[in-house]
Structure 1
């Protein structure tokens, strides 16, 4: 789809063995105070373009104040399209949309941007390439999310140091009209400065990132937007009709709350904008957190933000409700359904409990004994269980399911757990270790029998 149209700068020639349909480069280096770097490409047709690379910034760490990130501004033919926040000195694979391009010659420009941390002086973009996917419907309607600025008195570069956008994906479903589809876009942020508190995030959602649906639209059989169907997640998690501006088919939204809800009215001259590659979708039958599992570096960024912002208890203690070192948690995804109620009262949630071989009388609970911290929603869900420092998978004697009404009374509904999809610890670098837990079956929890063992070593 793309033909090579020149050489990459920074002394690295465009790779001749590029994947089919892509323009590729070696390593492009973008320096603070240095010239912009350019990557020419030729589009063989009109369509949506994507740029990808392994991004790193020497001296940068999302976990260190003053060294949080380096920012690269990306333009196409002189038009600012998206920004890249680089939170690591280790290479991380990233992919961003470049928007709609017409058939012909184009130039991507990469510039070291304001908002970069004082410790950041250089960004290295390895294996840089531009491509035009054949199936670009999801890319065509993906939202452009303008960074949170706190206008008129806030920091316009907030997302370079907190709650930075990490990933995006889409999901589709049939619409009522024949041949029409509804596309919904979701994003992962490194955290949320407002909303659910950190201990509840770990218990109820199994992570400290913030995951939100952002934008939803109906398209007809030819992929055109159906007028009046575009909606977005507004403050207070309300759903509002989108009445803002489009760039092509891309709606322009702004992160306007501390828990990453959207507005369709944009503050003046926002410096950061994010067009993430939303071409992927969630693995079928899996929790939303599975999109993080595909990109393990997101767990490290999330953990580093907690450390830098002082949200981690020191020393870690699983007996308290505060969040400890995330490397002491078992990260679990399981699937559950809730039956019909038989009485008045609150619905049951499900928490997980872990017993250790060395002390089987102690039950470590994901909800820390808090009723509202159990998981009420059905389907595939994620949670975490805090364990003593140094615990390994080989130390675990059992994983149990625990039924717990989330409010006053108990409506008597049964809750059935049908699988554990994965379970892992983070390694010393805050990256997920391979999953060591998998189970399928059926354990029904009732008011009379509110707990049951799901998994023991050797039990598949």
Structure 2
């Protein structure tokens, strides 16, 4: 929340405070100021704020739940239901006993005093006894891009369908972690398109997990879910809302709005949306979608800004038994994610010179103590090389204990993804970052970067792009 400048007016015990954290006295009396403990079987906690203007409110805090771990079956998370003025707005899934900064929308509020209620909710693991929220803060943007993005952000209703058949399944699997929006030009002068995307902790269906690591550089699921046109005043243009439906179709939104928030439900095992809501869905997520993605960067940079998402992704893989043990970079199976080099690079494909399949690009790594072995991001699987252009992310699995200091070189590897070869060259123009995860599955600082121009062709299908 502190990443974006906002104006807010809050009221604490009747005193107006501008742009300041909420400091509350909570039970028990010995609790530190600025801390809210939401207890299992305890009373609902509440805080009040005064909005001086119409707008979308956002609440932020550092959330933790002692006794929970996304890595352990039966201890995955604690859930807090959040209401505003008696209306259920959003849920918070807390998957860690360590504090994690979170930010959620509270929906539209009118000028005046409002009450936020926080209740320990069903779907929480048996090991969860309380949720601790540190430095709670409510803000209402004063206008501009943040306010418009928050106003049209989708509400994602929890998944209840499929083989799991559990109405609280997003408290244990494929949970929504963070959201953001992107702005694109519209045909009408002064209009623009808002596109909203979400990062889920994993996907129970869809792309094969080893292929996810090779082609996308992650085991999370990242999907755009809703797109809408707004006019120069930020108002929704009628009949322009679309969403990503099952089978990745783009369909017109015919569902219900809460204010300007469309209601969409995760309705497939690979986190596509439906605009018809199952009545028995108890969970809903209004994530703070005001952040944007930097121009010219891969979508995975959104995770880089929220390092805890890497830990949650790795823990879900461990808990679901999807990690090869012991890790072996010679196999296609996903090993310990701490053995992978996470890389983002830029590429572009030239014009074809014949017929056949388009070339993809994979990355290869050679180590100083074994330069004859080439560790490939695509594990030598043709369809695992990356054929899309722009900034893309991938991973290269390496022997346990490898560090950046052990790397002798990184190579670009051209590989047609299907039958034949259309002869097009591919050019790599940058390595934007490269890091390993630490013992806690958090990204270490990137110590790999490069800009230039290296082409790989049918005649010369590999070339070094980086040496220390």
TM-score, structure 2 as length reference: 0.94
CA distance in 1 between counterparts of 2:13 and 2:133 reads: 17
Partner of 1:372, secondary structure, is: helix
CA distances 1:249-297 after superposition (whole Å, capped 9, x unpaired): 0000000000000000000131000000000000121000000000000
Equivalence for 1:158: 169
CA distance in 2 between counterparts of 1:132 and 1:103 reads: 10
For the 8 Å contact 1:22–1:132, the answer to whether it is kept is no
1:169 to 175, 180, 184: 180
1:27 aligns with 2:35: yes
1:88 aligns with 2:106: no
Task: Within 5 Å, give how 1:428-447 maps onto structure 2.
Answer: 428-447=439-458
Count the aligned residue pairs: 449
Q: Describe the shift of the 1:84–1:345 C-alpha distance in structure 2 as closer, same or farther (beyond 3 A).
A: same
Equivalence for 1:303: 314
For the 8 Å contact 2:433–2:448, the answer to whether it is kept is yes
For the 8 Å contact 1:149–1:156, the answer to whether it is kept is yes
* Structure 1 residue runs of 4 or more that deviate by more than 3 Å after TM superposition: 21-25
CA distance in 2 between counterparts of 1:3 and 1:306 reads: 41
CA distance in 2 between counterparts of 1:416 and 1:170 reads: 29
CA distance in 1 between counterparts of 2:436 and 2:18 reads: 35
CA distance in 1 between counterparts of 2:37 and 2:97 reads: 13
CA distance in 1 between counterparts of 2:294 and 2:404 reads: 25
1:266 to 247, 262, 277: 277
Partner of 2:351, secondary structure, is: coil
Task: Within 5 Å, give how 1:57-456 maps onto structure 2.
Answer: 57-134=65-142, 135=144, 136-150=147-161, 154-456=165-467
Identify which range, 248-257 or 22-31, moves more after superposition: 22-31
Partner of 2:321, secondary structure, is: coil
CA distance in 1 between counterparts of 2:222 and 2:10 reads: 37
Equivalence for 2:3: none
Equivalence for 1:2: 9
CA distances 1:361-404 after superposition (whole Å, capped 9, x unpaired): 00000000000000111000000000000001110000000000
Partner of 1:298, secondary structure, is: helix
For the 8 Å contact 2:22–2:135, the answer to whether it is kept is no
Aligned-pair CA distance for 1:22: 5.7
Q: Structure 1: give runs of 5+ residues left out of the alignment.
A: 8-13
CA distances 1:193-226 after superposition (whole Å, capped 9, x unpaired): 0000110000000000000000000001111111
Q: Describe the shift of the 1:381–1:368 C-alpha distance in structure 2 as closer, same or farther (beyond 3 A).
A: same
Aligned-pair CA distance for 1:23: 4.1
Aligned-pair CA distance for 1:6: 2.4
Partner of 1:341, secondary structure, is: coil
CA distances 1:68-127 after superposition (whole Å, capped 9, x unpaired): 000000000000000000000000000000000000010000000000011111000000
Q: Structure 2: give runs of 5+ residues left out of the alignment.
A: 1-7, 25-33
CA distance in 2 between counterparts of 1:37 and 1:300 reads: 29
Q: Describe the shift of the 1:22–1:127 C-alpha distance in structure 2 as closer, same or farther (beyond 3 A).
A: closer
CA distance in 1 between counterparts of 2:352 and 2:106 reads: 50
CA distance in 2 between counterparts of 1:22 and 1:297 reads: 23
CA distance in 2 between counterparts of 1:455 and 1:24 reads: 50
CA distance in 1 between counterparts of 2:164 and 2:439 reads: 39
CA distance in 2 between counterparts of 1:335 and 1:237 reads: 25
For the 8 Å contact 1:6–1:41, the answer to whether it is kept is no
Aligned-pair CA distance for 1:20: 2.1
Aligned-pair CA distance for 1:153: 8.0
Aligned-pair CA distance for 1:5: 3.4
Equivalence for 2:50: 42
For the 8 Å contact 1:36–1:111, the answer to whether it is kept is yes
Partner of 2:346, secondary structure, is: strand
CA distance in 2 between counterparts of 1:374 and 1:151 reads: 31
Partner of 1:271, secondary structure, is: coil
Q: Describe the shift of the 1:335–1:152 C-alpha distance in structure 2 as closer, same or farther (beyond 3 A).
A: closer
CA distance in 2 between counterparts of 1:288 and 1:347 reads: 23
